[in-house]
Chains A and B, each alone.
Chain A
Amino acid sequence: MELITLLKANLKSHRGTALGVFVLILLVSLSLGTVLTVWNNSSRYVDSEMDRLRYGELTAWVSGLPEAALLAEEISALDQVESVGVQPLIFSEYEIGERESDSEGQLITYDPERYPYKFFADDLSGYQAAPTEIAQGEVYASASMASMFGVQAGDAITFPIARSGGDVTFTVAGFYEDPFMGSSMIGMKGFLICEQDHEEIAGMIEESGADSLAREGFMLHISGVSGSALTAAQFNAFLNENTSLTSYVEFTHSREAISGFMLTLQNVFTSLLLAFVVILLLASMAVLSHSIGSTIEQDDTNMGILKTMGFTSGKLRVIQLLQYLMISLCGMGVGLLLSIPAAGLICRMTVTTTGLLIPSALPIGICLLALTVILLLLMGFVWLRTGKIRRISPVSAIRGTWKKSQEIKRTAFPIQKKGLTCWLALRQLLSGKRRYMGACLVAVLLVFFASLIGRVDAWLGPNGEGLMDAFNPADLHIAAQPMGETTIEQVEQTIGSYTSITDSYDLAMPSVSVNGVDMTANVITQPERFHLLSGQTCREADEVVLTEFVAADLGVSVGDTVKVAGTLGSGEYVVSGIYQCANDMGMNIGMNREGYDRIGEESPTMWCTHYFLADPSLQPEIMQALQDTYGGDVYLHENSWPGLAGILSAMQALMIFLYGMVILFVLVVTLLTAGKLLRAEQKDLSIYRTLGFSAGQLRRSFALRFGVIALLGSILGTIFSAFLTDPLVAVLMRMEGISNFSSQPAMWDVLLPGIVVIVLFLLFAYLAAGRIGKAPLASLEE
């Protein structure tokens, strides 16, 4: 009973502290609940949708065969294969308005019986009933097309099926959920059409023969037998070895790889947010530490009295523990409840980026487990911090000598007339260092994380150049690939009329298999242009370079030999180096032209020429001119891709969220710390006022202390970020196939987080110090 009475009294007398800690824990719980919901639900959802649509362990995109049934049967007959599902499709480029796709689209024949896709409602906030059939001339697109191309229902999408007017235009009837290629991170996109349209287009392809730009194909969804010990790569190699799949396959992706593509954005951002939650938790602990310390200092007399009444230190600590336990539980509970609408909002907001409407149901088990761990951590911390209650002796506490022994000794810093307010701020700061440790630590943590995100943002670049560099095997300004009558010389003439071409190289991306595993080969005419990470580039015809991902997957390193197979045969190649190209999540290799010629046959249209311009600023104009002049006859691309928009907007949203949280956190931390300090320094502040200091001067001096603390924290946070960002983010990026993350931010990007945090601390401390002028000076009488 006595515990409850004291607990109530404590909560009442420390309402401000309780509220502050409650808000901090709420923010931690809210962020954690939201992040865990998005992270857990997105991966589970992609998984369950792939199961529901029976996509199997491996999907092979094949073409060049009139009927897929025979190949499907051949594959099904293998003992390691459970079943094979076939989805007919048509590969075709497409145009939306003035914009051309940079990857082929796939017109998939809608078959609701076998592949029951989900269809979004018009506002993308939920689903609508799936149509029994799609009307002729209509198409359903992936929701990410809205962010990639700004597509809306009613828009027209044109598919150039054959040269000389063989275009087919569809009207977008709505959006469907594609758990396979729906993310804006994936270039290839599926479009659902009806069977009649498929038949008509197939007829056009057949009629136009060599003039055909599109081609018929199939997706083969291959399911392995349950309990198979084969990895995806081994399963792929097994199929290639035992069937005629390699003769028809365009590319193959495992379920894990597709899931990885689909979840790239969510994984990267939830990882960053999860790291932010850890930062928030550490910052909360710093604040908690300060709060406990000053509460004990403030209540020492009461504690001394309670000890004379027979309360043990243990009991007093339990009261403190219960107090923070109750506040933390309330904060966690409310935070968790708020994370339900927050996660729902995020899931709805990201539909056009992820292509999925991720369920927002809270993963109760994971959330409770995570929060229990955090709660135990916090309570252990509180128990440790309240240890100094043991040192309070009743007599010294009542006489005030215990508090005196806690006071900071003098500092050798002189006080000067000029800049008196600043000198006094410094003196207060230096003589009460411990009291500001929490705020300083919070500044370090917030600036560190904001800096880290800022550096990632700077690496991405305003137009996503950083990311593009990571995805492209080599640099470029403009790339052109003639597909018809136009020659590369004509293209160069057009470019030359704007600016001279300083250099060029050719790049082709045929499919090969490496040690039996299908992947893309980046075949280049200037191998020295590869983004090399280690070793040497592949100058000889028997050399290849691998990505870190492939090297690890195949268990090879520089100097080892791999077997590469193409359409003409196979050959042994020495791994001369490791290079960077995050395409296909890093599942690719690099080789020179001579090397490829050993195993594959060149086709006239396979080469895409990459140009470097004397004046790169003319790039947009040149691209427009090339598009206007040659239209669909030349496939053009630059150092960009439509999915970048989604990433950049997600990054912007993350920055806004991050700075929002930073503002909230600095506000709570400043109010909490300032409140305690003002209470502790009330007497000194009143004395200063009796000496003739104005409340304004004292407010400025008070705010300045926080400014100095924030400055110190910001410097440390910025330094930590400079040293730790690259190795920490590189770990995350490696998971997405980017192994050369190196941030080189501009000075402004480096300084901005620190400046923001300093200004926030100054501002909130100044506002909190408003009560200095309101405290009655007559309190000195007491």
Chain B
Amino acid sequence: MREALLTAKEIVKTYPGAQEPVLNQISAEIYEGDFTIIMGPSGAGKSTLLYALSGMDALSSGKVLYRNQELGTLSEKKMAVLRAKEFGFVFQQTHLVSNLTLFENVAVAGYLQKGKSEKTVKERAESLLSQMHVEKAKGRLPSEVSGGEAQRAAIARATINQPGLLFADEPTGALNRKNSEEVLDLLNSLNQEGQSILMVTHDVKAAIRGTRILYLEDGKILDEMSLPPFDPKTAKEREEKVSAWLASLSW
């Protein structure tokens, strides 16, 4: 039996003033090494689930455990340390710090890691930016680069501390097709290097990159499917398979 990296136990999230919960008694496990996808129609609560699982949003009830550590019981300081060491975030809007260059955006996250020298962090930041093909734009501000470059830098930033789990919220949602493919390729290659990823998407082409897909609707996980690691050669068959599965869920 595989050990869960992240466990959600009957989590409920109801926004103040709302009648119905956005997340309704969800229990799920996210496993190490997986590229887990959360799919579902608009308003299903995908992003809310991601933020709940990452400890970025408070729960109405239930609990989330990361490596058996309950996030809700952690102090603000301990949560910050956990985020710095164990979590990486990639958002739909790149959310780079506007007055830091791409390189600084990546390096600053690395500086938070204790025990690593500034030189080591800088070297890793350079290497990651090179890996993400944005080394030429590293000295520019986020407002001076394309959306694709910014998102690749955001991935570099999210992975600089080699997090236990990388959270991605519609990372290709604001990108054109070409840039989307590049970003997804990067995520795949990171996953193949052992990086656990939990990604929210409503795009089938993005979803087929995962090894496990959770289908969320009306605040509940209705079904899930597992896939072998992504191989571009089998992309078409994967897409058909996933589409058929989704169709069976009235997608």
Contact = CB atoms under 8 A, between A and B. Distances in A.
A424 B76 CA distance: 20
A309 interface: no
A168 to B, nearest CB: 79
A781 B81 CA distance: 22
B143 A690 contact: no
Contacts of B77: 694, 696
Interface string A680-707: 0001101111111111110000000000
Interface size class of chain A, counting residues whose CB lies under 8 Å from the partner chain: 35 or more
Contact of B99 (A428, A691, A692): A428
A415 B57 contact: no
Given A776-B57, A778-B56, A692 B98 contact: no
Given A417-B121, A777-B51, A778-B56, A687 B143 contact: no
Nearest to A405: B143
B112 A778 contact: no
A363 interface: no
A407 interface: yes
B96 interface: yes
Contacts of A407: 98, 143
B64 interface: no
A293 interface: no
A719 to B, nearest CB: 29
Contacts of B80: 689, 692-695, 697
Nearest to B110: A417
Interface string B57-100: 11000000000000000001100111111010101010111111
B95 A780 contact: yes
B97 A688 contact: yes
Interface residue SS majority, chain A: helix
Interface stretch (B35-43, B101-109, B208-216): B101-109
B47 interface: yes
B157 interface: yes
Most chain A CB inside 10 Å of its own CB: which residue of B47, B84, B111: B111
A780 B91 contact: yes
B57 A777 contact: yes
B121 to A, nearest CB: 7
B118 interface: yes
Contact of A778 (B51, B98, B104, B141): B51
A683 B107 contact: no
A690 B101 contact: no
Contacts of B34: none
A120 B51 CA distance: 74
A690 B100 contact: no
A551 B60 CA distance: 85
Interface of B: 47-48, 51, 56-58, 76-77, 80-85, 87, 89, 91, 93, 95-101, 104, 107-109, 111-112, 117-118, 121, 141, 143, 157, 161, 169
6 contacts: A407-B143, A428-B99, A687-B97, A689-B80, A692-B82, A693-B84
Given A415-B108, A696-B77, 12 more contacts: A415-B104, A417-B111, A684-B97, A684-B99, A690-B95, A691-B83, A691-B108, A693-B84, A694-B80, A696-B76, A776-B57, A776-B58
Interface of A: 404, 407-411, 415-418, 420, 424, 427-428, 431-432, 683-684, 686-697, 773, 776-778, 780-781
